[in-house]
Amino acid sequence: ILNVEQSPQSLHVQEGDSTNFTCSFPSSNFYALHWYRWETAKSPEALFVMTLNGDEKKKGRISATLNTKEGYSYLYIKGSQPEDSATYLCAPCETSGSRLTFGEGTQLTVNP
């Protein structure tokens, strides 16, 4: 079972602030790393899937980087908006299509 850690557990920022979260995971037997955004009463929404060391992905104001050698990924949100308020989950997996092992998530609240 993978040990996945996310920090911080929760974060409160003001609208317009930029912020970032960390996900750390075992670097051995790594296949891919997922980031999901989960808003209350909705389905977890896939943000990124990254597989290669050094990968950087971007979607609007959100971007992510991956370091598979040291076992960490960063998620960045530029100019946070209230609609970014959600729990952000990371989940590595060891093979394609296998179980995802989620961290506890970072709960982001963006105050207007």
Partner 1 sequence: DTGVSQDPRHKITKRGQNVTFRCDPISEHNRLYWYRQTLGQGPEFLTYFQNEAQLEKSRLLSDRFSAERPKGSFSTLEIQRTEQGDSAMYLCASSLARASGIYNEQFFGPGTRLTVL
- List binders of partner 1 among 76-105 (CB under 8 A): 89, 91, 96-105
- List binders of partner 1 among 17-76 (CB under 8 A): 32, 34, 36, 41-46, 49, 51
The sheet carrying 62-67 orders its strands as: 5-7, 19-24, 72-77, 62-67, 56-59
Closest to partner 1 by CB, 81 or 98:
98
Neighbours of 110 (CB within 10 A): 21
> Which residues does 15 contact at the CB level (< 8 Å), separation at least 6?
80, 81, 82, 110, 111, 112
In the bound complex, what is the minimum distance in angstroms from residue 19's beta carbon to partner 1? 19
Q: Which residues contribute to the site for partner 1 (CB under 8 A)?
A: 4, 6, 32, 34, 36, 41-46, 49, 51, 89, 91, 96-105
